Amino acid sequence: MLSKTGVPTREQVESVKPDRERLARGPVAVIECFQQIPCDPCYTACSRGAIQPFADINDLPRIDFGKCNGCGLCVAYCPGLAVFVVDETYSETEALVRIPWEFLNRPEAGQKAPGLNREGKEVALVTVKRVQPSPSKNGAYILWLAVPKELAFEVRSIPVK
Amino acid sequence: MRIEKHPILEFQKGAKIKFLFDGRELEGYAGEPVAAALHAAGVRVLSHSHSHNRPRGFWCAIGHCSSCNMRVNGVPNIRVCIEPLAEGMVVETQKGRGRLDV
Amino acid sequence: MYKTEILVVGGGPAGLAAALAAAEQGAEVTLADRNSDLGGQLVKQTHMFFGSKGQYASERGISIAKILKEKAAATGKIRILTGATVTGYYEDKKVTIEAGDKFFPVEPQRVIFATGAQENTLIFPGCDLPGIYGAGAVQTLMNLHGVKPGNRVAMVGAGNIGVIVSYQLLQAGVEVAAIIEAAPRIGGYYVHAAKVRRLGVPILTSHTVIKAHGNHCLEKITIAELDEKRQVMAGSERDLEVDVLCVSVGLSPLAELLFQAGCRMGYVPELGGFVPFRDDCLETSVAGIYVAGDAAGIGEASAAMVQGRIAGLAAAASLGYGKDTFLEKVTEAGRELTGLHGGPTGEKIRTGLAKLTLLAKEAV
């Protein structure tokens, strides 16, 4: 359970997942923010109006998947590093998952790495496709990982070392 | 114990200098806290409790507690977590509460 | 005699925001801080801040320190005294400052105390061994001075500081063996917890450290699981080999000067300890003395900046500065503060503030 272990439940993850049709249309932001905290930069970062205005700064973010084009600005500006972009149209067998990255272990494009789930367990071998300096220009990067399609909502990191 | 590279931070360091710790010559960077230089050199015991002589390290690292009091250039009770390191500094483990000797 | 219209004590997020707000309204401000540089604990905070645009959300703490310092310098109305410790508040409303080899009195018309907080300790056998450090202390050592605290760390406390510093230890290349939390729930924001969890750091809620072992320095700790009554469950003890234990079990407001100034104080556990009664503009029971930031009650730096702004605006207005814009600006700041304290994570602070208000009424 999230409050006990830091790992969100399956139900929580399902609740923020775009539907099958939207996933079939290309990259989309997945906001894994499950706690009401005073924070709204995802809304201010979104240039497409996809992330809805906050009536109360403690609201959970709400996203209109129809307006989201998966640009990833919210990945760069979320202080909780809780936003990912998932593209299930990447290939027949693989999805592309974009994760925020702030570690010295900066893989190169083409490199393989263990894919970790939300518990830090290795669940796949993934390929780093792109290492993008974060649009926030604050030293962070966004890693584009090719992961087995069935693990698009499992892989959320690579190891620190 | 130095962080050579950091994903977010760049560390501005002063000149590399030498100082003495209990008679031993150590290296550090000018201007960094004495405690940081000692820690980087592997020295973690900075003082001892007065009653039971138990070893003590730093605690707060911002000059608020007195866990890191040492004798620096002959002056006792210096909070080495905020005392800038200088060339040739003489840093000593303090015995007891310290004497002013003035 | 050194005279100033507004003296701000402490140059962290609250103090910087207070000085800035007051100076922008036209007041002449002196900002005194005992450290060699302004910014308080922002200077070691590499994580991006929560909140909203008004509190520089998404900026790293280190960048916010820079922004506030530059803005403060740009006003041209703030005299900055660094390495300057305010040592006392006297009956004739003067304060004394010790700065290097100088010791001098200051006569301010208004004072804003933004003195911050200190880290709490945790008492258990062996808790004084070198290698057992405050989590904030480790953050200073590593993020400000570029020195690793050790090779393998255990963190006690899964509040925001505990989970954030754990993540920063990983960034510095230090292994984090576990985060140990006595409460049955993680106290910090879950997004921070999720960040370290997906990198494989176990978060052990309902656990505590019962003993530290080591000859001169920390070598090992014994941890154990706690039952619902927070008693150690027999047989659950196990050892973790670590050379550093970070203690992150809360902060206490630095209230000494507020006591000296005669401000009416109350012990409010939800706010971390002794804090002064204050009105909506952060003015204490002593007219002309304001409080902001952790000294007003432990909270997030985002809220501290807003409190500083309110206190700065109010102190300036009380001297006749910016009266035409005061209401608009302070209303906006008040709205921001209500928002920051408004959600489920602000419940503790709201409870604390309510107690304080109740106590204030009783006192009248």
What does the pLDDT read at residue C356? 78
Length of chain B: 102
Neighbours of B22 (CB within 10 A): 12
Mean pLDDT rounded to a whole number for chain C: 96
Does position A91 have pLDDT exceeding 60, yes or no? yes
CA distance C220 to B32: 29
How much is the average pLDDT of C317-341? 97
- Residues of C with CB below 8 A from B40's CB? 147
pLDDT tier at B100 (50, 70, 90 boundaries)? confident
Three-class HEC string of C276-319: ECECCCCEECCCCEEECHHHHCCCCHHHHHHHHHHHHHHHHHHC
CB pair distance less than 8 Å for B61 and C46: no
pLDDT in tens, A37-74: 999 999 999 999 999 999 999 999 999 999 999 999 99
CB-count exposure of residue C75 (10 Å: 0-12, 13-18, 19+): middle
Measured in angstroms, the CA of A97 and the nearest CA of chain C are apart by 15
Q: Left (φ > 0), alpha (ψ -120 to 50) or beta: where does A84 sit?
A: beta
- In which region does residue C350 sit, left (phi positive, over 0), alpha (psi from -120 to 50) or beta (all else)? alpha
Contact A4 C173 (CB under 8 A): no
- The complex's ipTM? 0.97
Residue C354: its pLDDT value, please? 87
Residue C359 pLDDT grade (very low, low, confident, very high; cuts 50, 70, 90): low
Sign of CA dihedral C291, C292, C295, C299: positive
The string of pLDDT tens digits covering residues A92-126 is 999 999 999 999 999 999 999 999 999 999 999 99
Average pLDDT (B74-92) is 97
Q: Which residues contact A45 (CB under 8 A, 6 or more apart)?
A: A51, A73, A74, A76, A77, A78, C58
Per domain, the residue ranges of chain B are 16-92
B96 pLDDT more than 70: yes
Inter-chain contacts counted by CB atoms under 8 A, chains A and B: 12
Task: Say whether C150 sits in a helix, a strand or coil.
Answer: coil
Per-residue pLDDT band for C362 (boundaries 50, 70, 90) equals very low
Q: Amino acid identity of C300? A: E
* C344/B contact by beta carbon, under 8 A: no
Q: Would you say residue C361 has pLDDT above 80?
A: no
pLDDT at res. C344: 94
Contact (CB, 8 A) for A123 and C198? no
Contact B36 C141 (CB under 8 A): yes
Specify whether the backbone of C230 is left (phi greater than 0), alpha (psi in -120 to 50) or beta.
left
pLDDT tens, position by position, C176-195: 999 999 999 999 999 999 99
**CA–CA gap between residue C165 and residue B60 (Å, rounded):** 14
- Given a cut of 80, whether residue C296 has pLDDT beyond it is yes
Task: Name the neighbours of A, counting chains with at least 3 Cβ pairs within 8 A.
Answer: B, C
What whole-number percentage of chain C has pLDDT above 70?
Answer: 98
Contact B8 A140 (CB under 8 A): yes
CA distance A79 to A63: 17
Residue of C nearest to B8 (CA): C46
Region C219-246: mean pLDDT is: 97
In this complex, do B65 and C118 lie within 8 Å of one another by their Cβ atoms? yes
Is pLDDT of C255 > 50?
yes
**Nearest-angstrom CA–CA distance, C207 and C162:** 14
To the question of domain B16-92 being in CATH 3.40.50.720, the answer is no
Partners of B16 on chain C (C-beta within 8 Å) are none
How far is A70 from A84, CA to CA, in rounded Å? Answer: 9
Domain boundaries, chain A: 2-151
User: Per DSSP, which regions of A49-151 are E strands?
Assistant: 83-87, 94-101, 112-116, 122-133, 141-148
Which residues of chain A are within 8 Å of residue C67 when distances are taken between CB atoms? none
Round to whole Å and give the CA distance between C23 and C277.
Answer: 25
Compute, in degrees rounded to 10, the torsion defined by CA atoms C277, C309, A80, A31.
Answer: 100
CB B71 within 8 A of CB B80: no
Instruction: Decide if C133 and B58 are in contact by the 8 Å CB cutoff.
Output: yes
Q: What is the pLDDT of residue C363?
A: 44
Q: What's this model's pTM, rounded to 2 decimal places?
A: 0.96
pLDDT digits (tens, 9 = 90+) for C153-178: 999 999 999 999 999 999 999 999 99
